[in-house]
Structure 1
Amino acid sequence: MTETQRVNMGKQHPAPYKALMALSAEAEGAAAAAGLDPLLVEMLKIRTSQINGCAFCLRLHTRDALKKGESPDRIAVLPAWAETGYFSETDRAALRLTEAITGVADGHVSDEDYDAAAAVLTADQVSAVAWLATVMNAFNRVAITSRYPVRD
């Protein structure tokens, strides 16, 4: 990692950061209202941050997930979720859609990925997962661009 000093976007322009925080709270509220497990919500944040390589958000949401009671084993195998028996059908559908949304630079969310999620999740859950992924991707970009520090 380079030591080049970066502008902290959240401090330089606090109003947009506060708006992003408010959007995050709304997305989490939508997820709760749609019946998504709070542990799944944290796992979606972690998976998005893994894909984006955001160390700051990875540490933050891993700690949050552990505090909420998430299993260290599930967190450990999250990058290979499709190869394990740790995740429910709902978890798998949400993770697949989250990965597709996070990877839009490699191609749009395919009908196959969307249809797989829609076959398991309700419309409210699909929308909530999409909002969670959208917000988490935005947070990752803020933290990565600003190079939020991650130290012992």
Structure 2
Amino acid sequence: MDFQEFTHIAPDVYAALGGVSKAVDASGLDKALTELVKLRVSQINGCAFCLQFHLNIARKLDIDPRKFDLLAGWRDAGIFSEREQAALGWAEALTCLADPAARDAALAAARATFQQSELVHLAATIAGINAWNRIAVGLHFPPPPAAGAGNQA
């Protein structure tokens, strides 16, 4: 199954999950930050579809391209801001829920960096991309074309 077939079969599911992203975008939470979070979660979950989909979006934003290359090693890269590090740490903790101590530490770092409203919308971003990853991986969505590679997504 591909993404288009999924949206045809389950338009209400597509709309509901898309609504989460629209609500986060409307909240004012930095789009570059949320795209980095979506990329990191998609790396962890091994979702090729979501990785390519969000790389296509992120490359249109004002993000240092080195961050895409170093995202998997963000802790040691030395180029991610304090906000990005807090968001990425919390994204990892909410994606891999098995370690409560790591989750609590990541939440404390996120609380020290983000306002409560931002924290809520960041949690929604993380939950939403985890849902998409599970759908896309589970149904074997092929990745969309890379932006600028002939046919654009």
Distance in 2 between the 1:6 and 1:60 partners?
13
- Report what 1:25 is aligned to: 22
User: Per-residue deviation at 1:13?
Assistant: 2.0
TM-score by length of 1: 0.84
Q: 1:10 aligns with which of 7, 10, 19?
A: 7
- Which residue pairs with 1:146 in the alignment? 139
Contact map agreement 2:67 2:79 (CA 8 A) in 1: yes
Please give the TM-score of this superposition, normalised by the length of structure 2: 0.84
Distance 2:114 2:104 in 1: 15
Give the unaligned 5+ runs of structure 1.
Answer: none
- How far residue 138 of structure 1 moved from its aligned partner, in angstroms, is 0.8
The amino acid across from 2:25 in the alignment is E
| Large movers: runs of 4+ above 6 Å | none
Which amino acid in 2 is paired with 1:57? C
2-side partners of 1:6 and 1:29: how far apart? 28
Between the aligned partners of 1:43 and 1:6, the Cα distance in structure 2 is 24
* TM alignment of 1:15-54, pairs within 5 A: 15-30=12-27, 32=28, 36-54=29-47
Residue 148 (structure 2) aligns with: none
Aligned residues: 143
Q: Return the offset for 1:84.
A: 1.7
Deviation per CA, 1:12-57, whole angstroms, max 9, x where unpaired? Answer: 2221221111122112222x1xxx3221111011011101100001
Gaps of 5+ in 2: 146-153
